[in-house]
């Protein structure tokens, strides 16, 4: 017989097993952590059915923050599923926009286990959401077609996982996966004609290069970028003609061409936006 005095009205009996474990591959597990009696360092043990065992260090925290994800751009629904995906070629290099709440100072963003570069932090004036612009890192051939979470992590241990419905605040709370895709083309940019244009917009710019495919998209600038649909792409795939939109901020802008098959190329600082004079009357 065991006598237990639960004077503080708290009494837990657990064996420390993870409530759920998902095996994505032979090198990747998704584990729901068991509760623990205190904060601090602990060990996570992984047991195979054949008796093999390994362990890894893990730290329990008691975060003050509770970050949540609203949506991630650019996204689209996965056919036949109640879920979304954000896609990019395996070379990475595109910027994504993450909107949500309670993103704190010095927040970090991870694509699965790889830290992403946070390019910009801001607040959306219309929704009041916190906004993060993050740069997608390059993947590997092994990453292609895998479904990965995008994780927002505050320094106090508060996290938001894009695939966990409890961490989402959109109305339908569909999980959002990031998927690397094989790049089936190799576009390149050699020059822009002209390489300067007015902030007023409406001017025609030609992108010279090779392997520009039908339905390609042009992205102007960093920090989320401005997508532009080309006016024309020549039959020999060497020239894109686009109309520059109005209202771009002055300065040198990156130009990125993304083919429909995820082939991607970026020319850094290739287009300079010049401010225009306004007359006073």
Do 227 and 254 contact (CB within 8 A), yes or no?
Answer: no
pLDDT, position 229: 92
**Rounded-to-integer distance, Cα 204 and Cα 214, Å:** 19
Residue 108 resides in a domain: yes
Residue 232 resides in a domain: yes
Mean pLDDT in each 10-residue stretch from start to end of the chain (281 residues)?
64 71 79 78 87 86 91 93 96 93 97 95 90 95 95 96 94 95 96 94 95 94 80 96 91 93 94 74 53
| Nearest in space to 33 (alpha carbons), one of 52, 48, 47, 16 | 16
Given 11, 32, 60, which residue is the final one in a domain? 60
pLDDT, position 56: 87
Residue 13 resides in a domain: no
pLDDT, position 60: 82
pLDDT, position 178: 97
Contacts of 277 by beta carbon, 8 Å cutoff, 6+ apart: none
pLDDT, position 1: 61
pLDDT, position 6: 63
Strand order in the sheet with 196-198: 196-198, 264-274, 251-258, 217-220, 226-228
Residues 169 and 78 in one domain: yes
- Count CB atoms within 10 A of the CB of residue 276: 11
Do 177 and 205 contact (CB within 8 A), yes or no?
Answer: no
Q: In angstroms, how far is CA 198 from the centroid of its own chain?
A: 31
Residues 94 and 193 in one domain: no
């Amino acid at each position: 017989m065991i006598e237990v005095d639960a004077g503080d009205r708290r009494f837990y009996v657990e064996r420390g097993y993870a409530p759920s474990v998902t095996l994505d591959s032979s090198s990747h597990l998704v584990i729901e952590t068991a509760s623990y009696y205190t904060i601090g360092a602990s060990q996570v043990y992984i047991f195979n059915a054949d008796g093999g065992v390994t362990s890894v260090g893990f730290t329990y925290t008691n975060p003050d923050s509770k970050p949540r994800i609203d949506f991630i751009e650019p996204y689209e629904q996965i056919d036949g599923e109640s879920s979304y995906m954000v896609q990019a070629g395996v070379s990475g290099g595109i910027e994504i926009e993450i909107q949500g709440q309670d993103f704190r100072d010095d927040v970090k963003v991870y694509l699965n286990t790889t830290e992403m570069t946070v390019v910009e932090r801001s607040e959306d004036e219309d929704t009041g959401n916190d906004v993060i612009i993050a740069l997608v890192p390059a993947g590997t051939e092994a990453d292609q077609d895998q479904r990965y979470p995008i994780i927002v992590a505050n320094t106090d241990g508060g996290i938001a996982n894009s695939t966990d419905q409890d961490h989402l605040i959109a109305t339908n709370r569909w999980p959002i996966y990031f998927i690397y895709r094989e790049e089936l083309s190799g576009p390149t940019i050699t020059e822009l004609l002209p390489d300067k244009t007015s902030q007023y917009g409406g001017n025609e710019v030609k992108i010279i290069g090779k392997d520009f495919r039908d339905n390609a998209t042009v992205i102007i600038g960093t920090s989320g970028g401005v997508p532009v649909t080309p006016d024309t792409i020549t039959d020999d795939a060497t020239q894109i003609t686009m109309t520059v939109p109005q209202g771009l901020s002055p300065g040198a802008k990156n130009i990125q061409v993304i083919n429909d098959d995820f082939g991607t190329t970026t020319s850094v600082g290739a287009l300079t936006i010049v401010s225009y004079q306004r007359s006073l009357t």
